[in-house]
């Protein structure tokens, strides 16, 4: 099947991958439902869990089962705005998109639709980036690695990761094509999706510097999305994002090595196996992002994402594998390496291992036993 896909145009490959994964994750969630049996105490210890849909019926199997953790916050912001202090942690573009689409369909369906469409553009953009790499190997390999990456199911859940990844990837695509207006627009919007979105300014600035064209100066506007949101929080008298993390998440700003030291202490001293898996996955992504064939600007982007991920102590690497998802150089490099060095059976084995871990992550997420 994948052999036939390789000859198709990029957008058709992306559409096929998106459709297959949307159906697969929706079917898997519905199949998990009879066996989940989450602890009600655990559920109601989470924020905004007081008005969840009843766990039965077709609606719940298809939509309600995805109402977990951060998704509840995005749905609330889409409906009521930033009416609770902790809500400022969740950046505004994704809930704004949910609100717009929910004029036509139920909010949870709108959230999944926005994520699914964004996943399509993420895959399409990655294929465009693969084409621009001289030693990228088989172009479908990075998509397959991304599709099975542990926690990658959130690209099709009510989370902002697919929207962030799509805007970052297309900002870089447009910049490499010298379409600076579109690159800047995507960069600005990326800064309104997640904190990591603004980091796309790094490759954009470097590409603009190399171009030596006056029009490329537009990319200096890229941080305006993030800065505009922060400015609005200050103007409206709300908590800053940093203060909200400290107050409601128990996470304080610290040097990256402090977070690594805390993670190491918990792994070695307390036997935290899940944290060890997270650290291995993040390390794998970073190491492949720094390989010699990766472009200089992409390496800097990956390093900046890693530093940002490690800047909080209190809950080290809480969303580590999920936060890696917008790190496009890791998947381009992993896919290229697999295409060059792995046989079909070896690659299938590695994909299977990552895919099983991804499904285990999804199971724990749906069971309310794992905060991503």
Q: Could you give the angle at which helices 141-148 and 10-36 cross, rounded to 10 degrees?
A: 20
pTM: 0.95
Question: Is 237 inside a domain boundary?
Answer: yes
Number of domains in the chain: 1
pLDDT of residue 312: 83
pLDDT tens readout for residues 25-78: 999 999 999 999 998 888 988 889 888 998 889 999 999 999 999 999 999 999
Reported as half-sphere exposure (CB side, CA atoms, 13 A), residue 310 has a value of 21
- Note whether 26 and 62 are within 8 A (CB): yes
The segments of the chain whose pLDDT lies below 70 read 1-6, 132-137, 372
Question: Is 347 inside a domain boundary?
Answer: yes
Question: Is 145 inside a domain boundary?
Answer: yes
Residue 252 pairs with which residues in a beta bridge? 313
Question: Is 272 inside a domain boundary?
Answer: no
What is d(CA 162, CA 154) in angstroms, rounded to the nearest whole number?
8
pLDDT of residue 3: 57
Question: Is 176 inside a domain boundary?
Answer: yes
Question: Is 112 inside a domain boundary?
Answer: yes
Residue 313 pairs with which residues in a beta bridge? 252
Residue 312 pairs with which residues in a beta bridge? 253
List, in sequence order, the alpha helices (H) in the chain: 2-5, 10-36, 40-44, 57-62, 70-80, 93-101, 107-131, 141-148, 161-176, 180-190, 201-211, 224-235, 241-244, 256-270, 273-289, 296-309, 320-323, 328-341, 344-366
Question: Is 51 inside a domain boundary?
Answer: yes
**Helix (H/G/I), strand (E/B), else coil: 1:** coil
pLDDT tens readout for residues 169-210: 999 999 999 999 999 999 999 999 999 999 999 999 999 999
Question: Is 273 inside a domain boundary?
Answer: no
What is d(CA 286, CA 333) in angstroms, rounded to the nearest whole number?
10
pLDDT of residue 134: 45
If you search the block for the tokens 């379409």, which residue do you land on?
179
- Parent domain of 107: 2-252+343-366
Instruction: List, in order, residues 6 or more apart from 303 with CB less than 8 Å away.
Output: 286, 289, 290
Q: How many CB atoms lie within 10 A of CB 144?
A: 23
pLDDT of residue 138: 76
């Amino acid at each position: 099947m994948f052999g036939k896909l390789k000859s198709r145009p990029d957008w058709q490959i992306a559409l096929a991958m998106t459709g297959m994964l949307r159906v697969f994750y929706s079917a898997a969630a519905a199949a998990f439902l009879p066996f989940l049996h989450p602890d009600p105490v655990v559920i109601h210890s989470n924020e905004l869990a007081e008005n969840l849909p009843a766990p039965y019926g077709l609606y719940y199997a298809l939509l309600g089962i995805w109402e977990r953790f951060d998704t509840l916050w995005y749905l609330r912001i889409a409906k009521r705005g930033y009416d609770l202090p902790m809500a400022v942690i969740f950046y505004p573009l994704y809930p704004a998109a949910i609100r717009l689409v929910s004029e036509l369909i139920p909010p949870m369906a709108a959230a999944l639709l926005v994520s699914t469409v964004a996943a399509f553009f993420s895959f399409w953009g990655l294929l465009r980036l693969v084409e621009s790499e001289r030693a990228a190997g088989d172009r479908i390999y990075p998509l397959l690695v991304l599709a099975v990456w542990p926690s990658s199911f959130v690209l099709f859940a009510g989370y902002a990761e697919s929207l962030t990844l799509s805007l970052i990837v297309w900002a870089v695509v447009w910049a490499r094509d010298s379409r600076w207006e579109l690159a800047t627009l995507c960069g600005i919007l990326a800064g309104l999706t997640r904190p990591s979105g603004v980091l796309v300014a790094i490759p954009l600035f470097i590409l603009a510097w190399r171009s030596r064209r006056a029009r490329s100066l537009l990319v200096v506007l890229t941080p305006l999305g993030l800065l505009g949101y922060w400015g609005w929080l200050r103007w409206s008298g709300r908590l800053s994002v940093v203060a909200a993390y400290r107050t409601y998440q128990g996470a304080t700003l610290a040097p990256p090595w402090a977070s690594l030291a805390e993670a190491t202490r918990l792994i070695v001293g307390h036997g935290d196996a899940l944290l060890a898996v997270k650290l291995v996955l993040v390390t794998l992504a970073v190491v492949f992002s720094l390989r010699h064939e990766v472009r200089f600007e992409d390496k800097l982007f990956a390093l900046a994402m890693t530093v940002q991920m490690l800047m909080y102590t209190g809950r080290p690497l809480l969303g580590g594998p999920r936060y890696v998802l917008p790190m496009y150089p890791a998947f381009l490099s992993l896919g290229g390496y697999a295409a060059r060095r792995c046989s079909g059976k070896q690659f299938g084995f590695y994909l299977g291992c990552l895919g099983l871990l991804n499904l285990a992550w999804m199971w724990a997420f749906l069971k309310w036993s794992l905060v991503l």
